[in-house]
Amino acid sequence: MKLTMRLALTTLCLSGALLTGIVLATTYARDGWSKDERETLASLRLSQLPPTPADPSNRVETMPQAIALGKRLFFDSRLSSNGKVSCASCHDPKQQFQDGKPVGQGVGTGIRRTMQVVGAGHSPFLFWDGRKDSLWAQAVGPLEDAAEHGGNRLAYARLMQQQYRSDYEAIFGALPDLKRLPADASPVGTPAQQAAWQALDKATQDDVSRVLANIGKAIAAYEKTLHFGEARLDRYIDGVLANDRQADQLLTPAEKNGLRLFIGAGRCVTCHNGPLLTDQHFHNTGIAPHGPLPQRLGRRSGVAKVIVDEFSCLGRFSDAKPEDCGELRFLATDGPTLDGAFKTPSLRNVALRPPYMHAGQIATLTDVVRHYRAAPAAQVGKSELEPAKLSEQDIQDIAAFLGTLSGPIVERAARQPGL
């Protein structure tokens, strides 16, 4: 009704020469926001993001020396079996700390797409299937993964001794004596490395594993300094809430329509909500599975792994008290919703980092939105999606809207309010 009145008024007041403009404007029904919509919009602003939660399992995470050491380690390709792969090979700062590839490419080829590092400190569970419960526990994964860094924990302990001794010891205390130990050994490496590992006594194994955990803790401290900066959407919403007509220009009519659908008929905010546009949960959205079983099970296999992970919050290398490990202790370990479920990614800077989904199955944002319109049945488990009633124009508009979430990435010390 509002629209009809406005149309009638404008037709009365304006000359014929402007009619084309009016017709265009009516494609996008209205430009005001309801009270409920304003509330949702307000909740999406980056300024509403709480400080990155403290990780009680990592006592060095705010220590400047640990941040500095972690940054050097993140970019150091000596932390790999062929001397060519660092975390930054796949998490490239010039590419949104990702690599633009469908699946990660390290010493070998992985089965999943490289994830964002920025904002990851807000996730209680890491990886597409959440098989790690902290940033530091996550970091030790790729170091020993055959397809990523391909290294082993004894070789890493030696590297710390040879290249980083004083920095390491200033933070974590004395490195263990490695003199009489073999060059390579790991419980998850090649058969020869595993045999060498089994030959070590338990105390030595623990000493060496602790060095790996500490490498992870330093890297995690660095990762926690990486934050998203404000995007055009944040400035637009601030303007809307302040009733600033000028700020209204910050989004095109198409982007505004996309935003309206994103928080309305498209039902995107059910999962992509809050300032990072993620609920930090795992959902089955019927994306075609990739890779072998049991990984195709997504969250179901992630849960099985995280509860037995030696580097978890409840493990012996954690600095937390058991009562600080609520996320792990109260984890839902069963239920049909775990099958084929993957982590909801943050949509901040999403337009800058194609391809999309857990194995880069979808190339463009428009095709991502088409997937939501179609809501295909899942091949593993059951999809939570219902087909969304979206026109082709709506799809284009939602994709355009996602572009308004692009902003800078900034590096600054962790735990400041609103950052």
Give 129 or 255: the residue with its C-beta nearer to ligand HEC: 129
Give 25 or 147: the residue with its C-beta nearer to ligand HEC: 147
Residue 180 CB, shortest distance to ligand HEC, in Å, is 28
Please report, as a single letter, which amino acid is at residue 162.
Answer: Q
Whether the bond between 124 and the residue before it is cis, its omega within 30 degrees of 0, is: no
Give 45 or 371: the residue with its C-beta nearer to ligand HEC: 371
What is the separation of C-alpha 409 from the centre of its chain, rounded to a whole number of angstroms? 14
Residue 299 CB, shortest distance to ligand HEC, in Å, is 10
Tokens found for residue 8: 């009638």
Tokens found for residue 208: 């060496």
Give 204 or 297: the residue with its C-beta nearer to ligand HEC: 297
Give 7 or 159: the residue with its C-beta nearer to ligand HEC: 159
Give 126 or 175: the residue with its C-beta nearer to ligand HEC: 126
Q: What is the length of the chain?
A: 419
Residues 6+ apart with CB under 8 A from 320: 56, 57, 313, 314
Residue 7 CB, shortest distance to ligand HEC, in Å, is 29
Residues that bind ligand HEC (CB under 6 A): 85, 87, 89-91, 104-106, 110, 112-117, 120, 123, 126-129, 135, 138-139, 142-143, 148-149, 219, 262, 266-268, 270-272, 283, 285, 287, 342, 344-345, 347, 350, 356-358, 365, 368-369, 372, 384-385, 388, 398, 402
Q: Cα(first)–Cα(last) distance of the chain, in Å?
A: 42
Tokens found for residue 303: 């849960």
Residue 381 CB, shortest distance to ligand HEC, in Å, is 11
Tokens found for residue 65: 């020396």
Q: How far apart are CA 147 and CA 40, in angstroms?
A: 42
- CA triple 151-155-159, angle to 5 deg: 110
Residue 34 CB, shortest distance to ligand HEC, in Å, is 19
Q: How far apart are CA 197 and CA 190, in angstroms?
A: 10
Give 157 or 350: the residue with its C-beta nearer to ligand HEC: 350
Q: How far apart are CA 375 and CA 310, in angstroms?
A: 38
Give 197 or 342: the residue with its C-beta nearer to ligand HEC: 342
Residue 122 CB, shortest distance to ligand HEC, in Å, is 9
Residue 320: which region, alpha, beta or left (left: phi > 0; alpha: psi -120 to 50)?
beta
Give 110 or 407: the residue with its C-beta nearer to ligand HEC: 110
Tokens found for residue 202: 């338990």
Residues 6+ apart with CB under 8 A from 350: 356, 365, 402, 405, 406
Cα→Cα distances 151→83, 162, 287, 369, 410, Å: 10, 16, 32, 39, 30
CA dihedral sign of residues 188, 194, 198, 201 = negative
Give 90 or 303: the residue with its C-beta nearer to ligand HEC: 90
CA dihedral sign of residues 281, 284, 285, 288 = positive
Residue 207 CB, shortest distance to ligand HEC, in Å, is 21
| Contact in structure between 125 and 298 (CB atoms under 8 Å) | no
Residue 11 CB, shortest distance to ligand HEC, in Å, is 34
Residue 127 CB, shortest distance to ligand HEC, in Å, is 4
Give 260 or 283: the residue with its C-beta nearer to ligand HEC: 283
Residue 349: which region, alpha, beta or left (left: phi > 0; alpha: psi -120 to 50)?
left
Residue 367 CB, shortest distance to ligand HEC, in Å, is 10
Residue 74 CB, shortest distance to ligand HEC, in Å, is 6
